[in-house]
Chains A and B, each alone.
Chain A
């Protein structure tokens, strides 16, 4: 074991703290195990030392690049097995953090809209909430298009979306616990029960088979044309992801990103911050076919003809290959129980799904629904809970 107060001990701890700052979750247990491991390996071999720390500190593939970068920066294997100059590294990290924040609040024009969502909310917080007009404000708000909201109304609707998504989640998960009368004998309880009658089984205890839950697969288009609406769908996704266990979430524009882990067990503000960093080409072009293809290829195990509910949120303005889109939707249709397409433009009475992507998709879609105001979201909730 390493002696107390040694440089190596301090440096391993410093290293783990640096990792934590970069969102690699290192626990005390991990550090203790790493320290135990150090006494088992030959320390002068950089490779072994690297693998020892990596096996203990990294727990998902996505963290590996961050780990590698920080490892290289932190551990310099010259004459000593420690960082060359810790303060220099610390300063560097601090400096880069400051720089990040600087650019974060810089002119909002040049960056994708997602980055500004949080800023706006944070900037608004100190302000007092203004009262809404006296006459049945909620009723009107529910019918209002998301794009027409004033900022103070936005907050209210955001709360509603969260509450509704939670309701849908509760409904879905409660449903499979409530199912009918038991069809299997519960031996354990029957025998326990029998003991009070001296071992005579007078009453058979039944247990019900737990029906498999419906799996939700939510896919959100975050391309440029969807900027204004995707915020509301992300909030809906966030609510479902955190309250319904069998749910996977994805975002795409030209490429697909699996965002389940960014949404789960985090506040919506944290989620937005993470999404702006992690999701590639936010507000970029749209290639629905390619994104679905990627989904198919990488996550085909998620699909089940009787138990998967697939929700895609997109305006259908597709710049990709329509042949690919068609073939992907065709096979998707076979693999899921229900395919729901939500389109924000459907709120407009004059809208007709004529654009290339949308007209290709329509024959394969089970439900084509609007998603532009709170009322339409409620209808969606009703539909899902009836399934």
Chain B
């Protein structure tokens, strides 16, 4: 699929991911240049979704590493299989064979964690999409472990040596920008910022992802969301919230937005008590008035 930018864009749309040409361009380049892609943007704009869709599009396997504070080498790269090592030592005792360090610190005794699994794929038709999700949640020292993998697609294990990837995975890294990612990591990646969608794009996304939705309702939902993002809230809703909301409204058999419908389902788009309160008290009327809905 990766012969041209258009092709990337079209095949992604077939998998119901509407993307601008700019995003299609960087994905195309990430595939061709075999470089990791760093996606930044507000929560819920579809960063993680890119990796999932690319898995479908390329017919590859997805390996996901969810980052969190305290994530370390043992959980992300590899760990030694200690019970197996102990058994091997016991066997050595019984069979009276001398035990060498190399015997129990070899590949046979390794447990592969996501990052190692991603570079260990054996054949070209089992290639992998590696998603490193929310890298800004991990500690700074964890970024250092990523450097070797992202620049050379290899892992160095002190007891064994260096293992290199035979087939490079497509690497997609996402960040919500709660802290600045280290320059060294950024340098190794292509960078793209995903913004909140325009009205047209959001409308296309809603009608593609929720095909049963009525045109007027889709139109109203999207205008409403655009207005909400213009207001001052703690957490502005992303596309994920728009889709949740559209589905919720359909389940409730609503075919158009009015004050009651919005108030009933406000929890789908705003996730802070203060935001909901502010919405109900001050902003709801102006958001509704955008498509001529009065109270």
Contact = CB atoms under 8 A, between A and B. Distances in A.
Nearest to B38: A59
5 contacts: A30-B187, A41-B25, A52-B29, A192-B101, A302-B178
Given A59-B187, A192-B101, A52 B140 contact: no
Nearest to B23: A51
B99 A195 contact: yes
Contact of B179 (A27, A60, A200, A248): A248
B82 A187 contact: yes
A33 B186 contact: no
A195 B85 CA distance: 11
Contacts, number: 103
A232 B85 CA distance: 57
Contacts of B38: 59
Interface in B144-203: 176-180, 183, 186-193
A330 to B, nearest CB: 11
A199 B183 contact: no
Contacts of B180: 60, 260-261
Contacts of B26: 51, 55
Interface of A: 25, 27, 29-30, 33, 36-37, 40-42, 47-48, 51-52, 54-56, 58-61, 64, 187-188, 191-192, 194-195, 198-201, 212, 245, 248, 260-261, 296-297, 299-302, 331
Given A48-B21, A64-B193, A199-B90, A37 B69 contact: no
Contacts of A200: 93
B82 A40 contact: no
B234 A27 contact: no
Contacts of A25: 183, 187
Contacts of A212: 69-70
B178 A245 contact: no
A40 B209 CA distance: 32
A61 B194 CA distance: 10
A369 to B, nearest CB: 27
Contacts of A201: 86
B187 A40 contact: no
- Among B29, B85, B180, B235, the one with the most A-chain Cβ atoms within 10 Å of its Cβ is B29
B190 A199 contact: no
B186 A194 contact: no
Given A29-B187, A297-B234, A199 B92 contact: yes
A293 to B, nearest CB: 8
> How many B residues touch the partner, as a band?
35 or more
Contacts of B176: 301
A297 B187 contact: no
Contacts of B62: none
Nearest to A210: B70
B183 A59 contact: yes
Given A51-B22, A212-B70, 18 more contacts: A33-B33, A37-B32, A41-B5, A41-B28, A47-B21, A47-B22, A48-B5, A48-B25, A55-B191, A59-B183, A61-B193, A188-B80, A191-B104, A192-B101, A194-B89, A261-B180, A300-B235, A301-B176
Interface string B19-60: 001100110110011010010100000000000000000000
B29 A37 contact: yes
B245 interface: no
A191 B235 CA distance: 49
A76 B85 CA distance: 65
Nearest to B80: A188
Contacts of B142: none
B152 to A, nearest CB: 12
Interface string B90-122: 101100000101001000000000000000000
A198 B191 CA distance: 52
Contacts of B234: 296-297, 300
Nearest to A199: B89
B25 A299 contact: no
A118 B274 CA distance: 43
Contact of A59 (B86, B177, B178, B186): B186
B6 to A, nearest CB: 10
Nearest to B35: A33
Contacts of B25: 41, 47-48, 51-52, 55
- Among B85, B190, B233, the one with the most A-chain Cβ atoms within 10 Å of its Cβ is B190
Nearest to A49: B25
A361 B40 CA distance: 35
B28 A40 contact: yes
- Among B69, B234, B274, the one with the most A-chain Cβ atoms within 10 Å of its Cβ is B234
